[in-house]
């Protein structure tokens, strides 16, 4: 018999899937407007299946960048899923074959609902409920958005070129909760703005990401150096 908490977890997963899936309409339309065919657009959602990376890839292509730079940018943004996987691999405790399937559904939403589970069974249920719901809704919405764009004589006339930047702002805004996050965001933006007139499309994004990662490593090293003397003093 399904418990109340299990039903609530499933309901939350479906709600997350529906809410997140609406972004798929924008992605489908933007991808077709950028020059990708409908099958190529659908393949990105089926095989890549990580929204931020998909928007990044299409945004680079739309700006005139190469597929290589688009792929590098998408891969860079997708590295966070690997960090989620470190936690989820222990939690899900799946065999190699099933683990490979589960890896495809490691996204922000499935990781978040999994971490919200009070017990391991609820955490596992949350992962699958959110992951599968988002996957289905995202791919259906991608088809709808892509079909809609193919029926328009000039998709860019609707201003679809601003969808990707708007989506990234929506993803970033909730995370600006401290001075450190604001500092990181401002430094990344400054590096990108300086690089835009000097480098090819997509390179500013890579340089910005490199600057942010370097800043994080410096901060981590400084934190470790401050902690070491304190540890020695207590010893």
In three-state form (DSSP H/G/I as H, E/B as E, the rest C), the secondary structure along 50-119 is: CHHHHHHHHHHHHCCCCHHHHHHHHHHHHHHHHHHHHHHHHHHCCCHHHHHHHHCCCCHHHHHHHHCCCC
Task: Provide the residue ranges of all domains of the chain, joining segments of one domain with +.
Answer: 4-158, 176-235
Query: What is the average pLDDT score of the chain?
Result: 80
Q: Contact 12/125 with Cβ under 8 angstroms?
A: no
Determine what percent of the chain is predicted with pLDDT higher than 90: 23
pLDDT at residue number 4 = 85
Find, among 71, 12, 64, 22, the residue nearest to 47 by Cα.
Answer: 71
Indicate whether 222 pLDDT > 80: no
| Model pLDDT for residues 71-96, shown as the tens digit of each residue | 887 887 787 788 788 878 888 887 87
pLDDT at residue number 234 = 45
pLDDT at residue number 235 = 43
Distance CA 194, CA 215 (A): 17
H-type helices in the chain, by residue range? 4-33, 38-43, 51-62, 67-92, 96-103, 108-115, 120-150, 163-172, 179-195, 203-234
Distance CA 4, CA 11 (A): 10
pTM for the model stands at 0.73
| Model pLDDT for residues 11-39, shown as the tens digit of each residue | 999 999 998 888 888 889 888 888 899 99
pLDDT at residue number 229 = 52
Query: Angle CA(131)–CA(54)–CA(98) in degrees, nearest 5?
Result: 35
| Model pLDDT for residues 108-153, shown as the tens digit of each residue | 889 888 888 878 888 899 999 999 999 999 999 999 999 988 887 6
| Model pLDDT for residues 179-213, shown as the tens digit of each residue | 877 888 888 889 888 988 888 766 777 788 777 77
């Amino acid at each position: 018999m399904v418990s109340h908490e299990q039903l609530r977890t499933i309901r939350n997963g479906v709600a997350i899937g529906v809410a997140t899936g609406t972004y798929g309409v924008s992605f489908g339309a933007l991808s077709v407007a950028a020059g990708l065919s409908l099958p190529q657009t659908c393949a990105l959602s089926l095989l890549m299946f990580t929204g931020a990376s998909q928007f990044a890839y299409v945004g680079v292509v739309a700006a005139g960048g190469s597929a290589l730079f688009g792929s590098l940018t998408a891969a860079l943004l997708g590295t966070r899923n690997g960090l989620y996987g470190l936690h989820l691999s222990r939690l899900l405790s799946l065999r190699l074959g099933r683990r490979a399937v589960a890896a495809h559904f490691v996204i922000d939403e499935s990781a978040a609902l999994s971490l919200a589970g009070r017990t391991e069974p609820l955490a596992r249920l949350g992962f699958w409920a959110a992951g599968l719901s988002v996957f289905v809704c995202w791919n259906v919405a991608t088809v709808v958005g892509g079909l809609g764009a193919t029926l328009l004589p000039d998709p860019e006339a609707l201003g679809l070129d601003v969808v990707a930047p708007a989506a990234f702002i929506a993803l970033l805004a909730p995370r600006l909760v401290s001075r450190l996050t604001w500092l990181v965001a401002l430094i990344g933006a400054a590096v990108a703005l300086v690089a835009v007139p000097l480098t090819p499309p997509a390179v500013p994004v890579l340089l910005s990401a490199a600057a942010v990662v370097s800043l994080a490593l410096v901060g981590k090293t400084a934190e470790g150096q401050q902690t070491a003397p304190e540890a020695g003093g207590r010893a």
